[in-house]
Amino acid sequence: SQKIEQNSEALNIQEGKTATLTCNYTNYSPAYLQWYRQDPGRGPVFLLLIRENEKEKRKERLKVTFDTTLKQSLFHITASQPADSATYLCAPSDYNQGGKLIFGQGTELSVKP
Amino acid sequence: DAGVIQSPRHEVTEMGQEVTLRCKPISGHDYLFWYRQTMMRGLELLIYFNNNVPIDDSGMPEDRFSAKMPNASFSTLKIQPSEPRDSAVYFCASSAGQSTNEKLFFGSGTQLSVL
């Protein structure tokens, strides 16, 4: 069955460092992958989408990579700030899913000042 | 646009009671999704609609759960009868529909507690 794995343990880092979050998937051939941010008591918010033919995508301090051979996406936040503290969810998808989006469990990031 | 609007924000009910959650998607969005989130299972897709038609309800846990979308601006998720294990946060989300890789916009969720 299809499976999406994200770091189950919370990631604690110091302000200013780079945070790297991992999303691994199995039994998927996603055409694209999305990353979302979720704050406590709120719904997830879209951050970035990367397609299978894109190795890397950037948006301000965010960078996402997509390795279809390793079946993995990495999400980086450079020069992290306490305001980046949240849970980050990945969602791979392919065109056969007809718009359906399944999410990983998410990784909680805590950035300490 | 006000975004995806869900009501109520919180719902506390007793086991056996009927619960109805409501959602108003973003105007013009063709897809509507219902998700459930718990600590143990994360964010689970229950059902989704395209142009008001249910496309995939394989995530609906039991016959006690039902969802409707009578028009493009309103959807309900009903649990009857409710059980304590239904306690979770229920999210509604919508997306603009022409392609399959559109981002989702989520509502603020309904925190459901079944006692």
Decide if pLDDT at B100 tops 70: no
Residue of B nearest to A99 (CA): B100
Question: Confidence band (pLDDT; 50, 70, 90) for A95?
Answer: low
Question: What tokens appear for A103 in the block?
Answer: 């999410």
Beta bridge partners of A110: A12
Decide if pLDDT at B101 tops 60: no
Do the chains contact at A106 and B43, CB–CB below 8 Å?
yes
Supply the DSSP symbol for B103.
P
**Choice between B46 and B102, residue whose per-residue pLDDT is larger:** B46
Chain A interface, mutation test: which of B94, B100, B111, most A Cβ atoms within 10 Å? Answer: B100
Q: How far apart are CA A76 and CA A43, in angstroms?
A: 21
Contact between residue A88 and residue A4 where contact means Cβ atoms under 8 Å apart: no
Residue of B nearest to A101 (CA): B45
| pLDDT digits 0-9 by tens, B8-62 | 999 999 999 999 999 999 999 989 999 999 999 999 999 999 999 999 999 998 8
| pLDDT digits 0-9 by tens, A69-79 | 999 999 999 99
Do the chains contact at A103 and B109, CB–CB below 8 Å?
no
Write out chain B residues lying below 8 Å of A51, CB-based.
101
Q: How far apart are CA A17 and CA A111, in angstroms?
A: 9
Minimal CA separation from A103 to chain B, in Å: 6
Centroid of chain to Cα A30: 14
Q: What is the pLDDT of residue B99?
A: 60
- Pick from A31, A99, A103: CB nearest B42: A103
| pLDDT digits 0-9 by tens, A5-48 | 998 889 999 999 999 999 999 987 888 899 999 999 999 999 99
Amino acid at A96: N
Write out chain B residues lying below 8 Å of A106, CB-based.
42-43
Q: How far apart are CA B12 and CA A86, in angstroms?
A: 27
Task: Give the burial string for A47-70 (b: 16+ CB within 10 Å, else e).
Answer: bbbbeeeeeebeeeebbbbbebee
Q: Is B99 helix (H, G, I), strand (E, B) or coil?
A: coil
Long-range contact pairs involving B37-40 (C-beta distance under 8 Å, separation at least 24): B37/B88, B37/B89, B37/B90, B37/B91, B37/B109, B38/B87, B38/B88, B38/B89
Dihedral angle of Cα B14, B19, B24, B29, to the nearest 10 degrees: 120
